Amino acid sequence: MEEKVWEFKKIKLADMIEYIEANAPADKAWFKSVAFDENGKYQHLIAVRAFCAKYMPEIIPVAKVKVVPVDAKKKLADW
């Protein structure tokens, strides 16, 4: 059987539930506690981030280094 390829932006609630039921059924209460805010609303991004931080930290996106544009005048003046 093929192993599922996990992508941070494409994870759905059903995928997370299936993974937790198969691999860590004791964590159901933990997941419910992080998936809902204080008003009882489901917060998908927070749930995905917490899920990935616990089970798949390698797929969490990291910020890219900002590239500063080079001033052509300065660069060509010394050339």
Does residue 45 lie within any of the structural domains? yes
Q: Which residues pair with 30 in a beta bridge?
A: none
What would the two tokens of residue 68 be?
A: 């500063």
**CA torsion, points 4, 48, 35, 12, in degrees to nearest 10?**
-50
Name the more confident of 1 and 4.
Answer: 4
What would the two tokens of residue 4 be?
A: 């599922």
Does residue 48 lie within any of the structural domains? yes
* pLDDT score recorded for residue 46: 96
- Structural domain for 22, as ranges: 8-68+73-77
Phi–psi pair at 42, nearest 5 degrees: -70, 130
Q: What's the structural domain count of the chain? A: 1
The model carries a pTM of 0.74
Q: Would you place residue 76 in the very low, low, confident or very high pLDDT band (cuts 50, 70, 90)?
A: confident
